[in-house]
Structure 1
Amino acid sequence: MTYKEYITWNEEERCEVLDGKIISMAPSPIPEHQDISMQLSIEIGTYLRGKTCKTFAAPIDVYLFQDSNKKWIDENVRNWLIPDLIVVCDPNKIKQNKILGAPDFVVEIISPSSAKIDRLDKRLAYQRAGVKEYWIIDPANQIIEVYLLKGQTLELNNVYNRGDFVSVQVLESLTIDTTILFPERTGN
């Protein structure tokens, strides 16, 4: 799959591609996933109000390895992802309907079907692109894995549970209360 092929698709059809291989064409996320994404978007969006950095929730195509100074995408591009949530601090990377270049901060909210892709394939792509901070949120286990870029490697910095407070390293003084993301479960 190349960008040239992708732009011929209907706008409602979306996929993620790494090295020309489609890695995800998932159906709409479940409500729990959407709630976590919305709550995190509210927290980060409120913090960023009036600042240079901007946050975006899926769906938005991110062309990790593209030069943000170019006005077009090479039609042979074979890598793009649709992260659940991103923060971009370089306004030049923000284009009309896409992001060109690596975001500063990426969040993926995993499901059983996406766990391997998010923990391995996407993490390595984000690492190669130079993403500074990467969170994997696991709703089923109510944990957040925080990876930070050290040199050329996204290293696991810490794992947080429900009730913990997580500092967003790339956004000075922003801390997320995990109870906002993981409400208390009640028996059914």
Structure 2
Amino acid sequence: MQLIDGAIFNISPGPSHKHQQVLRELSAAFSVFLKGKECEVFFAPFDVRLFGQNKKDNEINNVVQPDLSIICDSEKLDDKGCNGSPDMIVEILSSASVKLDRWIKYRLYEEAGVKEYWIVDPVNESVEMHLLTDGQYIFKGVFTKSDTISVETLSNLVLDLEQIFI
């Protein structure tokens, strides 16, 4: 369950085999790179309470569960997940989540100040990159299985997408 602007979104059915493979490989790549560093990677289910700073739980209208979240400010982490905007979010598309990820969450993450947003398509084996510039997402391109992709939020991390889309 996710809460966006006070409306409940239930995503079903559960993620596909390919979705979970891509999530596993991305999680592993980020985890290895971030070991011993300031930033941490978290994967769904993990609650991200956007715009939640200094609010009581019943006042928070946006709770999402991105497939992957990179958080570099440990002050945002608590026992309930992340209170505030992650530095980076990755959403892996499924047939049930296309509109939610490409439109509703895109706008929500942009408004919340998420610096880097990836939309991963496991069927077409591609990654769409959006970077926040002056409060708006700028489309940086589509990367496919034969490409490498530099993670802008984490300098020196370059992913070989052939290792992600196995």
RMSD: 1.2
Structure 2 residue identity aligned to 1:119: R
- For residues 8-47 of structure 1, what are the structure 2 equivalents within 5 Å? 15-47=1-33
Work out whether 1:174 is the aligned partner of 2:160.
no
Of 75, 78, 81, which aligns to 2:58?
A: 75
Equivalent residue number for residue 148 of structure 2: 165
1:181, distance to aligned residue in structure 2 (A): 1.6
What stretches of structure 2 of length at least 5 have no aligned partner?
none
Work out whether 1:104 is the aligned partner of 2:90.
no
Structure 2 residue identity aligned to 1:111: S
Structure 1 residue identity aligned to 2:48: V
Query: Larger deviation: 119-128 or 26-35?
Result: 26-35
Q: Percent same amino acid among aligned pairs?
A: 38
Of 86, 95, 98, which aligns to 2:78?
A: 95
Structure 2 length-normalised TM: 0.96
Work out whether 1:55 is the aligned partner of 2:44.
no
Distance 1:28 1:112, change over 3 A: closer
Structure 1 length-normalised TM: 0.85
Aligned residues: 166
SS at match of 1:38: helix
Looking at CA atoms only, which structure, 1 or 2, has the larger radius of gyration? 1
What stretches of structure 1 of length at least 5 have no aligned partner?
1-14, 184-188
1:50, distance to aligned residue in structure 2 (A): 0.4
